[in-house]
Structure 1
């Protein structure tokens, strides 16, 4: 099943166009035009997003700050950072804060969907480990 993706960028045209292109490929897509909107979309829980595609350079709350808040509140959600201004420093900061990976803008749809698929796979692997640990815990408790 294709990932549920939240696109976050202050460039409305980019977000709206990319959302349509991803929806045409079967993805469920949400959009946000800044960090606070992204956090609201994740917190509402109307859609349980697998992957957030997040721009680094946004006015107000930048992408690295949004990333930290997303990972603190939703640690299993994977975040792919998009930047037209890649620097080693921002990449290191993002990776330390839990970003799955970085892509340079403009990125082609094939690269983005491949990265989304990898991120979704990692999220599912983490979820499966949690479920297995819970199941082992239940089995061990019943053995007492």
Structure 2
């Protein structure tokens, strides 16, 4: 099954690796370089698909780095979940989500993949499998 995936990753090399491996597995990938661009693409796609189904999200999966320019991954996730509470979000980051009670609530709503990880583990997490590596 082909997934529609939005990725926010400011590291060019990492973003390219994500794009290549996910396309190899037949997925459609949209890459953004910072939190603000990610939200712009998300809201644009949300508006474009708003009448398709009220139960669906504009992307099957949103992948966020925690440490990004303009807006952090946590800020982006919170804004996305405000408008699309069912959106699947995966943090692919070397930085754990730490902070206040808002962060504790966010941890319950998102998945986390600790860097470094193999590209195979990344694909498995995206596709909803438990990573075996």
Q: Normalised by the size of structure 1, how large is the TM-score?
A: 0.71
- Name which of 105, 110, 113 aligns with 1:100: 110
Q: Structure 1 CA distance, aligned partners of 2:111 and 2:104? A: 7
CA RMSD of aligned residues (A): 2.2
Moved segments of 4+, more than 3 Å: 92-95
- For 1:14 and 1:115, the matched residues in 2 are separated by 16
State the SS of the aligned residue for 1:107: coil
Stretches of structure 1 lacking an aligned partner (at least 5 in a row): 120-144
Listed as ranges, the matches of 1:1-144 within 5 Å are 1-45=1-45, 48-86=58-96, 89=98, 94=103, 96-97=105-106, 99-118=109-128
Question: Larger % of helix: which?
Answer: 1
Q: Structure 2: which 5+ residue stretches go unaligned?
A: 50-57
Deviations 1:30-57 (A, max 9, x none): 1111111111111111683110110011
Contact 2:6 2:63 in 1 (8 A): yes
Aligned length: 117
* Inter-partner Cα distance in structure 2 for 1:12 and 1:112: 17
Mark the structure with the bigger radius of gyration.
1
Q: Normalised by the size of structure 2, how large is the TM-score?
A: 0.76
- What's the CA shift for 1:27? 0.7
